[in-house]
Amino acid sequence: MKDVAAAAGVSLGTVSNVLNRPAVVSAATRERVERAMAELGFVRNESARQLRAGTSRALAYVMLDGGNPFFHDVAEGIETAAEDADLSLFVCNSSGRTEREAKHLDRLLQQRVQGILITPVDPDAPHLADLAQRGLPFVMVDRFSRAGGHCSVAVDDVLGGRIAVEHLIDRGHRRVAFVGGPASIGQVRERLQGARAVWAEFGMPEEDLIHLPTEALTVNEGRSAGERLAGLPSRRRPTAAFCANDLLALGLLQHAVTAGLRVPDDLAIVGFDDIDFAAAAAVPLTSVRQPRQELGRTAARLVLDEATNPGHVHEQATFVPALVARASTGTVRR
Amino acid sequence: MKDVAAAAGVSLGTVSNVLNRPAVVSAATRERVERAMAELGFVRNESARQLRAGTSRALAYVMLDGGNPFFHDVAEGIETAAEDADLSLFVCNSSGRTEREAKHLDRLLQQRVQGILITPVDPDAPHLADLAQRGLPFVMVDRFSRAGGHCSVAVDDVLGGRIAVEHLIDRGHRRVAFVGGPASIGQVRERLQGARAVWAEFGMPEEDLIHLPTEALTVNEGRSAGERLAGLPSRRRPTAAFCANDLLALGLLQHAVTAGLRVPDDLAIVGFDDIDFAAAAAVPLTSVRQPRQELGRTAARLVLDEATNPGHVHEQATFVPALVARASTGTVRR
DNA sequence: GGGTGGGATTGAAATGTTTCAACTATCCTG
DNA sequence: CAGGATAGTTGAAACATTTCAATCCCACCC
């Protein structure tokens, strides 16, 4: 800026005015300054601006699993909202590892981001409580914590579980597997809880809703669950599976097809999230849709409100999931 | 830092020493300062550090399509390398839109990142030339530009096209479709070029390698290509398709299966990239593998070399793609 | 007791912006 | 023509850190 000022024959303050309050400087000077900037290839130094401002013009989203398209879609939603507010978005990926998450948060704190959106590995981890108590605006995405003291955005997972299993009962299934784990993930617990609730309401025997636990919510784990499922004695073998997310469902689907099972006739499958690959699977996957972009946009809205509005009150936004029925549960069982 | 210094009864300089050269300060003072930092919840201000240092401790990757898992894997590779060098990585997504890419680059320039890795929308866009001429280290990932003046990292796409089509010829196919577009994407052109080269070398008639153009490299476009393919008169209809990437291949696969075609018997399919979903498809997809993480790691290595080593010379790293044969091309045609 | 060496600490400058009170020049009004 | 309003411009302070030359203090040696 000093060089620009010299080149244009004006003071530093004027250059700053051109940048920040163009209206107050005369057209002629403005033009001269702008030409000087172009000639010198001037680029504003963001760190100096930040230092002066005390905060960076950025939000951050720390996502749980970059390999899961679901989170990518959430990030898209956040990004559109951030763009509207003229903020940058830093996207970080904890890959499900607590220490990586902590490292990212640490860095973001040092960057003085305006707010943090996070889908945490563990919603009750102490480093999250630190954040809140530091007064940094933050919003939990797709998770709740017992603690409170912050906003959160998620769908009603219990309801999602109910919808999925009710759909299967509707289709005539009387023995159903719930595929998902580990139980440390709140989502998994709640989806299972919803599943069990409808199951009981329809008067089905408890032991006919079989829980096949997995170690993670990945395609690989879905395949391995498929193997275990195939290994069950045929009179105990479920005719349908409700998977805690679409990656599991895709893995299970793949195993089923390779093993020569017909989907949905031999095995019906319901996933969760409704990622784009679900519709694109060779047997298009019935899934419980979450409003992914909407989730992201709302989260961004909340964090911005917390950052700018002194009268902000924390809010737990809950969205309603919806069943998207496709071929993988297509036929009614006799 | 001022507060910390006051609390610990030392000068600013000493606090800085504790942070940056702990060895020079006596154990007792260090301990006192560290306690003060903990008590006050001190967090280093990154913008001030940057302002002083003149550059941020970060790299950036601007990817072309966040919805394509391929780029996510590349980003993972970059991130591991960045972590080793103790740098942050900013991941941005241009979503294939030039103006968004330009906006991201502009921001990154303002942030004074140490280097930029980019899979550009158009490798010859003027704003990329600007970068190079500004002296900012940057590396093109998965793309080449005619211009030179920078490093790049990619696989040999012509060879990839050769491998794919040779595999199909091997399997007995005599009429093959190439699915991909738009031609503005260098990758697409080169993969097609490789395909045509082997096709000619094996003495096949040119008109039996049919180009089905697409508007983008997405699952949806793959499906629509499937419709066009099914619409061909049966004596012109190919028995196999080589798709410019896996998303197209998955879309095509889905359409084929829904339309009642058997894969690979009625239609064999080869994709490109070997993303995780390829193996997980209901008919596991034969694909040309790119070393995705390796690509990212190498790109990061190159940009760091350019940033730190004054004797740096630009390098065009080329990797060799490999065929991963799976069920979608499983049987030899009579 | 004076001098030396070295470890520990300090103070000041520098980094590139933004902001705001103060200043100048110009024009208008009575 | 004095006085005041207005538009445009300026200068200095502040932001939080790092660096480095300078200083201080102490132990040790002759």
pLDDT in tens, B18-62: 999 999 999 999 999 999 999 999 999 999 999 999 999 999 999
| Residue range A155-173: mean pLDDT, rounded | 97
Q: With CB atoms and an 8 Å threshold, state whether B276 touches A219.
A: yes
Q: At what angle do helices A186-201 and A157-170 cross, to 10 degrees?
A: 40
B305 φ, ψ (degrees, to nearest 5): -60, -45
Strand nucleotide closest to residue A12 (CA to C1'): D10
The predicted pLDDT at position B120 comes to 94
- At residue A15's C-alpha, the angle toward residues A10 and A17, to 5°, is 120
The CA distance from A272 to the nearest CA of chain B, in Å, is: 17
Q: Indicate the SS3 state at residue A18.
A: helix
Question: Which residue of chain B is at minimal alpha-carbon distance from A249?
Answer: B280
Please say if the pLDDT value at position A282 is more than 90: no
Please say if the pLDDT value at position A176 is more than 80: yes
Q: CB count, 10 Å around CB of A274?
A: 25
Q: With CB atoms and an 8 Å threshold, state whether A110 touches B43.
A: yes
The predicted pLDDT at position B205 comes to 96
Residues ≥6 apart with Cβ < 8 Å to A55: A112, A113, A114
Quote the tokens at residue B131: 């970068």
The CA distance from A276 to the nearest CA of chain B, in Å, is: 9
Please say if the pLDDT value at position A279 is more than 90: no
Q: Indicate the SS3 state at residue A240.
A: strand
Contact yes or no for B116/B49 (Cβ under 8 A): no
Q: With CB atoms and an 8 Å threshold, state whether A51 touches B48.
A: yes
**pLDDT category, B130, cuts 50, 70, 90?**
confident
**pLDDT category, B334, cuts 50, 70, 90?**
low
Q: Bridge-partner residues for B287, per DSSP?
A: B271, B324
Closest CA to B223 of B202, B197, B254: B254
**pLDDT category, A300, cuts 50, 70, 90?**
very high
B324 φ, ψ (degrees, to nearest 5): -115, 105
Q: With CB atoms and an 8 Å threshold, state whether A66 touches B76.
A: yes
The predicted pLDDT at position B149 comes to 84
**pLDDT category, A310, cuts 50, 70, 90?**
confident
The predicted pLDDT at position A133 comes to 86
Instruction: List the domains of chain B with CATH numbers.
Output: 2-44 (1.10.260), 56-155+291-319 (3.40.50.2300), 157-290+323-329 (3.40.50.2300)
| Residue range A12-36: mean pLDDT, rounded | 94
C-alpha span between B312 and A32 (Å, rounded): 38
Q: pLDDT exceeding 70 applies to what percent of chain B?
A: 100
| Residue range B97-107: mean pLDDT, rounded | 94
Dihedral sign from CA coordinates of B206, B212, B217, B222? negative
| Residue range A239-267: mean pLDDT, rounded | 93
Share the mean pLDDT of chain B.
93
Lowest mean pLDDT among A253-262, B13-22, B38-47: A253-262
Please say if the pLDDT value at position A70 is more than 70: yes
Q: Which of residues 8-27 of B touch strand C (CB under 7 A)?
A: 10-14, 16-17, 24-26
Lowest mean pLDDT among A3-12, A26-35, B274-283: B274-283
